[in-house]
Amino acid sequence: MPHAATLEIRGLSKQYQVKGDTLPVLDNVSLSIKPGEFVSIVGASGCGKSTLLRLVIGLEDDYQGDILLDGHRIVGTSLERGIMFQEHRLFPWLTVEQNVGLGLLNADLGEARKRDAVREHIALVGLEGFERAYPYQLSGGMSQRVAIARALVNRPEVLLLDEPFGALDALTRAYLQQELQRIWAQEGITMILVTHDVEEAVYLGDRVVVMQPRPGRIKRIVDVPLPRPRDRGDYAFAAIKEDVLSEFSDRPRDELIAEPRERNAVEWQFSW
Amino acid sequence: MSAYSSVLTLDPVLPTQAATPTPRPRRRLWSALGRALLAWPFPLAVLLLWQLAATYEWVPSQILPSPATVAGTFADLWRSGELQDNTAISLWRVLWGFSAGATLGFVLGVAMGLSPLTKDYLYPTFKTFAQVPALGWLPLLMMLVGIDEALKIILIAKASLVPIALNTYKGLQNVPTTQIELARVYRFSRWQLLRHVVLPSAFPPIWNGVRYGLTHAWLALVGVELLASSEGLGFLIVYGRQLYQLDVVLAAVVVVGAIGWALDRVLAVIEKRLLRWRVEGF
Ligand SMILES: Nc1ncnc2c1ncn2[C@@H]1O[C@H](COP(=O)(O)OP(=O)(O)O)[C@@H](O)[C@H]1O
Ligand SMILES: [Mg+2]
């Protein structure tokens, strides 16, 4: 069982340079996350949620403020910190099992243990029978499930999930939310989940962090003091959900679910 | 797991519905056959025109022998063994020149793709070097290495080196940062990054370079044999022209074209096998 870590974010700010202009993306974000805590982050698209995760995972070191893990400044990436990116980022030349297996490439396990872990996690996301399939043969939802399996397979202390269930149908989504919660409770992993689904945020989180854009900052943190397993039809649950939703009343809802559509490469060809 | 089995059966994303609907295999076979057949009308029309030109003597037969004459000459050249001998010599030269050029080109491309410093040192020189066609180097090289095998090998190597080096370099440059980031998240070593991400990702453009390289090697071979050789298919063409045997010239030209085409087909078939992870259908 991995020992979960305390994550301390203090006065974090981040800018990007866009054509000579400075674009503030995160402004003075502070958040303290206890070991084994589950934190949900919601906010309009463009308010810096993905950027925040990129900084915590250690892909960028050009920021102001502190990101401390158990009191130590994070330096670069680490196998203790896992991430599932917003896009599935599967390697198109690898099969499903090879893609999941890459997550274990540098894990401290024997080959047999690795094979078992890969098989277990493919089963976990319900893709038995697709072990040898290539990404081009999978739907968006299936690819996302492979990415979930890859993120979970080496059981990091801190796991960051960037809209992991966005492309899934309602039933698969509900099932994987439960499974994620089960693994979280069982392994004591610290989890940060970015989502545009307020119900999902309340269902899974110990706290829901509401962010606002331009520049990205924390608007409010809502506690979810409900025992698990939670009942979505419960009055207290609905009240908290309403409370979080009320933070968005001043902006059009569709901004929350804007997703780029992929273009078909042959659209510009003549049909003959 | 029992909760999930119901989810599985209801899951709308089953494999057959996953990608864009693909035509049933039988239909696809027919459409592939139909597309392959489309390649034939044009050459057949040219052949017909040639036959007509010969029959009605639009062009004197010393200049344009009839298809039947050329076929006869082809058979004669085959029976005497001249055709096989010259083809073997040409293929041998291409094999060596291409192997040397491809190896060097790949190493050069990888070096420039991996090390910005190497790229800054070599790229401008390389680009300039690449602008001079293989045959432009011929006079200089003839002075340096004579007109023996070395000359041909070097020129063929040069012809295949350029596209392979360039495509390898560009392929490595264009590896998406999203893929590199994933490798960083999983703490890949430099070698793991190269082996598991960079090379597979760059493989399609590199292979494209190899295909161009082989085509260029074949073209350079015929060119250099035309100008400086006493053997090979290119020589057969010059030889036929010198004796005013245009049937020999044409027979050799057809063989040159056919082999060039076949070489590229071999690489295309290998490509289909190696790149089966890419969306099918082209
Ligand atoms: N590499 C980058 N260069 C410039 N601007 C960026 C970059 N990455 C993100 N941004 C900008 O930062 C803002 C926040 O992006 P992001 O973190 O992806 O938001 P979210 O995940 O909340 O939708 C957006 O305005 C986006 O355009
Ligand atoms: Mg995002």
**pLDDT for A270:** 64
Q: How many CB pairs under 8 A join A and B?
A: 84
Kindly report, residue by residue over B133-166, the tens digit of the pLDDT.
877 888 888 888 888 888 889 999 999 999 999 9
Residue of A79, A130, A175 with shortest CB distance to B187: A79
Neighbours of B105 (CB within 10 A): 27
Specify the DSSP class assigned to residue A104: T
Question: Higher model confidence: residue B10 or residue B214?
Answer: B214
Q: Which ligand is in closest contact with the Cα of A48?
A: 1
On whether the CB atoms of residues B113 and B164 are closer than 8 A, the answer is no
Q: Check whether residue B143 and residue B236 sit in a common domain.
A: yes
| Mean pLDDT across chain B | 84
Residues of chain A with Cβ-Cβ distance to B281 below 8 Å are none
**pLDDT for A31:** 93
What is the span of the domain harbouring residue B86? Answer: 66-274
Residue B2 falls within a domain, yes or no?
no
Whole-number Å distance, alpha carbon A43 to ligand 2 midpoint, is: 10
Burial A158-191 (b: 16+ CB within 10 A, else e): bbbbbbbbbbbeebbbbbbbebbbebbeebebbb
**pLDDT for B24:** 60
Burial A58-96 (b: 16+ CB within 10 A, else e): bbeeebeeebebeeeebeebbbbbbbbbbbbbbbebbbb
Please tell me if residue B196 touches chain A, with a CB cutoff of 8 Å: yes
**pLDDT for A91:** 94
Quickly state the pLDDT bin for B21 (edges 50, 70, 90). Answer: very low
- Ranking A37-51, A97-111, B221-235 by mean pLDDT, the lowest is B221-235
Whole-number Å distance, alpha carbon A51 to ligand 1 midpoint, is: 6
Residues of chain B with Cβ-Cβ distance to A82 below 8 Å are 185
Whose Cα sits closest to atom 1 in ligand 1? A16
Q: Check whether residue B33 and residue B104 sit in a common domain.
A: no
Query: Which residues in chain B (208-267) have CB-CB distances under 8 A to chain A?
Result: none
Ligand 1 atom closest to Cα of residue A162: 21
Ligand 1 atom closest to Cα of residue A216: 14
Q: Check whether residue B199 and residue B224 sit in a common domain.
A: yes
Q: Check whether residue B123 and residue B182 sit in a common domain.
A: yes
Q: Is the pLDDT of residue A70 over 90?
A: no
Ligand 1 pocket residue status of A16, Cβ below 6 Å: yes
Strands A207-212 and A217-223, bridge-based pairing: antiparallel
H helix or E strand, kind and range, residue A8 = strand A7-18
Q: Check whether residue B53 and residue B70 sit in a common domain.
A: no
Residue B15 falls within a domain, yes or no?
no
CA atoms within 13 A of residue B117's CA, in its CB half-sphere:
0
Q: Check whether residue B71 and residue B100 sit in a common domain.
A: yes
Domain architecture of chain A: domains with CATH? 1-80+156-251 (3.40.50.300), 87-155 (no CATH)
Q: Check whether residue B41 and residue B144 sit in a common domain.
A: no
Neighbours of B278 (CB within 10 A): 15
- The share of chain B scoring above pLDDT 70, in percent, equals 89
Residue B10 falls within a domain, yes or no?
no
CATH number at residue B190: 1.10.3720.10
CA distance A206 to B20: 40
Kindly report, residue by residue over A111-121, the tens digit of the pLDDT.
899 999 999 99
- Ranking A132-146, B196-210, B268-282 by mean pLDDT, the lowest is B268-282
Q: Check whether residue B50 and residue B181 sit in a common domain.
A: no
* Site of tokens 């010059």: B238
Total domain count for chain B? 2
**pLDDT for A4:** 62
Q: Which of B2, B5, B8, B13 to probe by mutation at the A interface, max A CB count within 10 Å?
A: B13
Does A79 contact B19 at a Cβ distance shorter than 8 Å?
Answer: no
Q: Which ligand is in closest contact with the Cα of A41?
A: 1
Q: Check whether residue B154 and residue B202 sit in a common domain.
A: yes
**pLDDT for A161:** 95
Please tell me if residue B175 touches chain A, with a CB cutoff of 8 Å: no
**pLDDT for A5:** 72
CA distance A167 to A88: 10
**pLDDT for A213:** 86
How far A247 CA lies from chain B's nearest CA (Å)?
A: 33
On whether the CB atoms of residues A204 and A193 are closer than 8 A, the answer is yes
CA distance B183 to B199: 13
CA distance A198 to A249: 13
Ligand 1 atom closest to Cα of residue A23: 5
| Mean pLDDT across chain A | 86
**pLDDT for B101:** 95
Query: Which residues in chain B (97-136) have CB-CB distances under 8 A to chain A?
Result: none
Q: Is the pLDDT of residue A153 over 80?
A: yes
**pLDDT for B280:** 57
Residues of chain B with Cβ-Cβ distance to A131 below 8 Å are none
Q: Which two tokens stand for residue B158?
A: 């040069």
Does A134 contact B277 at a Cβ distance shorter than 8 Å?
Answer: yes
Q: Which two tokens stand for residue B143?
A: 């002075």
Residue B50 falls within a domain, yes or no?
yes
**A156 three-class SS:** coil
Whole-number Å distance, alpha carbon A81 to ligand 1 midpoint, is: 21
**pLDDT for B214:** 93
- Ranking A150-159, B9-18, B220-229, B258-267 by mean pLDDT, the lowest is B9-18
Q: What is the mean pLDDT of residues B15-19?
A: 39
CA distance A195 to A197: 5
- Ranking A1-15, A68-82, A189-203 by mean pLDDT, the lowest is A1-15
- The share of chain A scoring above pLDDT 70, in percent, equals 90
Q: Check whether residue B149 and residue B243 sit in a common domain.
A: yes
Q: Check whether residue B240 and residue B100 sit in a common domain.
A: yes
- The share of chain A scoring above pLDDT 90, in percent, equals 40
CA distance A243 to B11: 32
Ligand 1 pocket residue status of A213, Cβ below 6 Å: no
Residue of A59, A138, A172 with shortest CB distance to B181: A59
Nearest to residue A232, comparing CAs of A269, A268, A186, A201?
Answer: A201
Reported pTM:
0.80
Q: Check whether residue B43 and residue B72 sit in a common domain.
A: no
Ligand 1 pocket residue status of A45, Cβ below 6 Å: yes
The amino acid sitting at B225 is: E
Residue B140 falls within a domain, yes or no?
yes
Residue B147 falls within a domain, yes or no?
yes
Which of B38, B58, B78 is the endpoint of a domain?
B58
Kindly report, residue by residue over A5-62, the tens digit of the pLDDT.
789 999 999 998 888 888 888 999 999 999 999 999 999 888 999 999 999 999 998 8
Q: What is the mean pLDDT of residues B38-55?
A: 88
**pLDDT for A59:** 92
Does B277 contact A85 at a Cβ distance shorter than 8 Å?
Answer: no
Residue B250 falls within a domain, yes or no?
yes
Q: Is the peptide bond before A229 cis (omega within 30 degrees of 0)?
A: yes
Q: Is the pLDDT of residue B184 over 50?
A: yes
Residue B9 falls within a domain, yes or no?
no
Q: What is the mean pLDDT of residues B92-119?
A: 93
Ligand 1 atom closest to Cα of residue A52: 17
How far B192 CA lies from chain A's nearest CA (Å)?
A: 9
